[in-house]
């Protein structure tokens, strides 16, 4: 019996489906648990033999009805885990499928099979800006590319105590050359705007105005110059060709720390920063958690900042322009002393920081970013 190309693609896709018992790629070295995606890493129980066979038969049946070129697009996205930019997979939106007693739309079935077996509802998802369907409503066709979607982080209430900074830590830096002040003190002041001259020089030379600049740090040392961002979306990744944007691996670093070397190797596809109408979103493209601290993720009346843990495949609105404007209260002592405090977001790769970590401050994290927003 001759095997067709379509059948071969379908078999390869089924072999590349998302594991149902967790991928084992979360950060086992971090202390404590929690963060904004708390509870999302619980393993999904394996289906019984009947439902597994039913799911396989249903998936094969659906995939065999899809055009070969579309199967190739889906396979490219699934096998590269979203690392390769793949086009939209436009399929009928009103096709319903049924597994056991549960009915799913066609997009939901593909998202569950190839990315998130524990996905319950489409409200848990956010379409990425790389998708041509982003912001568009088409009643007939919808993009079913699983890697054009992300899971939404759910902010906890109340937040876990491990990620709070008590006011005892809010003390001034020891010296101007000891590294970033926020990192050394655990407070909410930032030193990166002092170095904005790199980016401001670009503007003075006549280049298009940036909406943010990014600084890459390894522990207390900034590596490379500030990266000025003009495009609406930016990939920050480690090796070429893992993205299109800020390649950290091309920066010269003299850091010989084994921990830094290990974390560098795990940055992989890194993150995607996207400026959208409601704020700036961060999508974790890597296989490991990232950790984010932003004033606009907290209660405006709070005197402490949270560190949020964001798992692979999840998105979080890391910066809200409207909230940032509200944070500039005329009598706010913190903003009087540090006017850019609310306009900076810190992001660490793989390793978190906080009271229940061995790393109290972000300057102890092996690899991290400081994103400074231009609100003018």
The predicted model gives 323-341 an average pLDDT of 56
Highest mean pLDDT among 174-178, 213-217, 291-295: 213-217
Residue 368 CB: number of other CB atoms within 10 A?
25
3-class SS at 200?
A: helix
Q: 69-73, 308-312, 331-335: which range is least confident on average? A: 331-335
**Beta carbons of 311 and 26 less than 8 angstroms apart:** yes
Mean pLDDT (the chain, rounded): 78
Q: 173-182, 196-205, 313-322, 337-346: which range is least confident on average? A: 173-182
d(CA 270, CA 283): 9
Q: Which residue has the higher pLDDT, 285 or 374?
A: 285
Checking if the pLDDT of 1 tops 70, the result is no
What separation in angstroms does the CA of 20 have from each of 24, 42, 48? 11, 10, 12
The predicted model gives 330-357 an average pLDDT of 70
d(CA 128, CA 134): 7
Checking if the pLDDT of 354 tops 60, the result is yes
Q: At what angle do helices 106-114 and 49-63 cross, to 10 degrees?
A: 120
Confidence class of residue 137 from pLDDT cuts 50, 70 and 90? confident
Q: At what angle do helices 5-15 and 68-79 cross, to 10 degrees?
A: 30
pLDDT digits (tens, 9 = 90+) for 218-238: 999 999 999 999 999 999 999
β-pairing, 245-247 vs 141-143, is unpaired
What's residue 302's pLDDT? 64
What's residue 301's pLDDT? 65
């Amino acid at each position: 019996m001759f095997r067709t190309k379509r059948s071969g693609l379908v078999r390869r896709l089924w072999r590349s489906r998302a594991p149902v018992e967790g991928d084992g790629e979360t950060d086992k070295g971090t202390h404590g648990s929690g963060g904004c995606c708390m509870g999302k890493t619980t393993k999904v129980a394996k289906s019984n033999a009947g439902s597994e066979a039913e799911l396989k038969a249903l998936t094969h049946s659906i995939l065999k009805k899809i055009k070969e070129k579309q199967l190739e697009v889906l396979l490219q996205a699934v096998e590269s885990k979203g690392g390769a930019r793949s086009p939209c997979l436009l399929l009928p939106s009103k096709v319903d499928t049924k597994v056991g007693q549960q009915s799913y739309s066609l997009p939901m079935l593909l998202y569950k099979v190839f990315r998130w077996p524990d996905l319950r509802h489409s409200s848990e998802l956010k379409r990425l800006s790389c998708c041509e369907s982003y912001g568009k409503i088409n009643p007939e066709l919808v993009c079913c590319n699983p890697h054009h979607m992300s899971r939404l982080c759910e902010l906890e209430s109340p937040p876990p105590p491990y990620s709070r900074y008590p006011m005892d830590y809010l003390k001034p830096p020891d010296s101007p050359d000891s590294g970033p002040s926020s990192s050394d003190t655990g407070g909410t002041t930032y030193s990166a705007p002092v170095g904005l001259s790199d980016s401001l020089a670009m503007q003075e030379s006549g280049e298009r105005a940036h909406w943010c600049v990014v600084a890459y740090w390894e522990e207390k040392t900034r590596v490379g110059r500030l990266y000025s961002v003009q495009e609406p979306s930016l990939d920050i990744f480690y090796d070429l060709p893992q993205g299109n944007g800020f390649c950290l691996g091309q920066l010269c670093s003299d850091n010989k720390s084994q921990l830094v070397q290990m974390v560098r190797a795990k940055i992989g596809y890194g993150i995607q920063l996207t400026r959208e109408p409601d704020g700036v979103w961060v999508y974790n493209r890597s296989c490991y958690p990232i950790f984010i601290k932003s004033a606009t993720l907290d209660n405006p009346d709070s005197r402490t900042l949270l560190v949020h843990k964001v798992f692979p495949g999840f998105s979080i609105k890391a910066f809200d322009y409207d909230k940032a404007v509200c944070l500039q209260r005329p009598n706010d002592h913190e903003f009087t002393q540090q006017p850019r405090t609310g306009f900076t977001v810190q992001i660490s790769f793989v390793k978190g920081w906080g009271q229940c970590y061995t790393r109290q401050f972000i300057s102890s994290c092996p690899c991290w970013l400081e994103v400074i927003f231009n609100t003018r």
